[in-house]
Copies of this chain bind each other. A is one copy, B any other.
Amino acid sequence: MEQQERQLAGTLRRDEIGKKVCLKGWVQKRRDLGGLIFIDFRDRSGLVQIVFNPAISEQALEIAESVRNEYVLEVCGQVVERSTDTINPKMATGEVEVVVDFVSILNEAKNPPFSVFDDKEISEELRLKYRYLDLRRESMQQTFRMRHQATQVIRQFLNEEEYLEMETPMLTKSTPEGARDYLVPSRVHPGHFYALPQSPQLFKQLIMVSGFERYFQFARCFRDEDLRADRQPEFTQIDIETSFMSSDEIMAMTERMMQKLMKEVKGIEITSPIPRMRYEEAMERYGSDKPDTRFDMELVDVSELVKTSNFKVFESTVNTGGKVSAINVKGQAANYSRKDIDKLTDFVKIYGAKGLAWLKIEDNAFKGPIAKFFSEEEQASMMKVLQANENDLLLFVADAKSIVYDSLGALRMKLAKELHLIDESQFNFLWVTDWPLLEYDENAGRYTAAHHPFTMPSDEDLDKLDTHPEQVKAQAYDLVLNGYELGGGSLRIYKKDIQDKMFKVLGFSEEEAWEQFSFLLQALEYGTPPHGGIALGFDRMVMLLAGKTNLRDTILFPKTASASDLLTEAPGSVGQTQLDELHLSLQQKAIDETSK
């Protein structure tokens, strides 16, 4: 066996011509041609072509004949210049090849269930089952190299800004409210359970009480909820908390971090300061609390204009407390048939809208079944506020405010994608601020925290917490990128009396609050500094940086929508002994499921 130092395949260039090298890696593709064997040889650095020539080594060629795709080889040979006609400009190493005089098969490989170098669509089930092969593909390798790089850049930044990286527990307290907690039965304490953290929220607040002042962590978090395409039962968030900083200072720090990240990972300078928008404005203009600002087509409130119109649907909606908003689909009137618009109507109905009214602009006037309800004047003023011109398509929803926002906001996104209005190369960051502190839960008949119960009300609204809780704004801020919520944060309640009041507004009795959060309430009494922070979804951040659309492409070993790991077949059934040790029994449904 040769003992020469290993070199990386993807690094070989012209200036290595003549050099003897040894490589270790995988057979990506083998081609037999005119008595020679050519192999695209791959390692973590990339590809190089290696050649087996009987004139150089009969023995090596013989071995190469037995070699198939994904075999692991050690090869040694000379770097030679390729002839002009065989230079491959698509490969970084395309000007050279290695003529092999020694080869050793380090491991064999069966024919893989899918090729690791084609860009063919492969079923996601197969990809997840053979994740270790899926991950060999170039685009996956790139994504996880980028993820690593992003990790290091962010850590370096936070380290330089004197944030301490600290680890909080995974085996934490389960709370009666924690409907989405993953529970972990304790063997030592029968009938007792830990919970996996949905976030290290309370621990990071305690770290502030401890006086460390600046904390961060790449925190694994867990949420046992019905999964959507962009959710995973375990996910990673960049968790940050600081003492003695204003929300402006926390936002500014986050901006510096994102600037550095975008610069170092994507080579992109982002606009600074990142624009800010109040929650109310975001809803009014984009029908979304995480607006995609890479394109316009904003929602326009026409309630005032239509409340005296002859179109009864609009008129009565406005006069019974609802509103009418519209979007202007520029220059698309001719391209949307009635049938097309019917489909859009079906779409907005998903969001609770009763219907979708439409108008086209033809010869500088409204056209369409409802055009007749609007006077020439009304038409003129509506065209003005909607900046409508010839061949524009106007789409209206008249409904309760929240339905108008949800449906038109979603329609806006759908149309932008259909019409390719989005410049995919852009990275539009946006802060959404001035969030409501509370939401009214109709089912429960009480208020719930819009963010979490530890969010600080805005100073000027503090008095309204008892009297008009629905009007209280939170000192909270979300960072939005291209229509995705990257993360959010807030100042936290650091005074015991405000926290008590908050729990009361949320309908907790004193006993309930104490039972669940005694340690926090106690900590607030021993010199808690003003503090706040932010948590950013790291998986999603990587997804957006890598230009992917599926979170599963940014998590090394992800789970399916039903929270299964197709590779290891988790979760699995366990033995009775293990259950007995935990003093647990399966209920009938569980017995049925496991005996299937």
Contacts and interface: CB of A to CB of B under 8 A. Distances in A.
Interface of A: 6, 24, 26-27, 42-44, 70-72, 106-110, 112, 130-133, 135-136, 141, 144-145, 147-148, 151-152, 155, 159, 164-174, 176, 179, 181-196, 202-203, 206-207, 209-214, 218, 220, 222, 224, 233-234, 236, 243-244, 494-495, 518-519, 522-523, 525-530, 555-557, 559, 562-565, 567-575, 578, 580, 582-594
Contacts of A176: 574-575
B585 A193 contact: no
Given A26-B211, A519-B568, A519-B569, 13 more contacts: A107-B528, A110-B525, A131-B210, A132-B523, A133-B210, A173-B570, A176-B575, A183-B185, A189-B593, A190-B586, A203-B557, A220-B220, A584-B585
Contacts of A578: 174, 179, 181, 183
Given A151-B165, A233-B171, A193 B572 contact: yes
A555 B170 CA distance: 12
B559 A171 contact: yes
Contacts of A236: 167
A90 to B, nearest CB: 20
Contact of A44 (B213, B519, B570): B213
Contact of A591 (B107, B191, B209): B191
B192 A572 contact: yes
Nearest to A185: B183
A132 B557 contact: no
**Which are the 10 A-B pairs with shortest beta-carbon distances?**
A191-B590, A109-B527, A135-B210, A70-B527, A583-B590, A191-B594, A192-B571, A173-B570, A190-B590, A173-B568
Contact of A172 (B196, B212, B565): B565
A233 B184 CA distance: 12
A133 to B, nearest CB: 6
Contacts of A26: 211, 527, 529
A519 B557 CA distance: 13
B575 A584 contact: no
Contact of A184 (B145, B184, B584): B184
A22 B192 CA distance: 48
B194 A571 contact: yes
Nearest to A225: B187
A145 B109 CA distance: 48
Contact of A582 (B183, B190, B591): B183
A222 B170 CA distance: 9
A530 B107 contact: yes
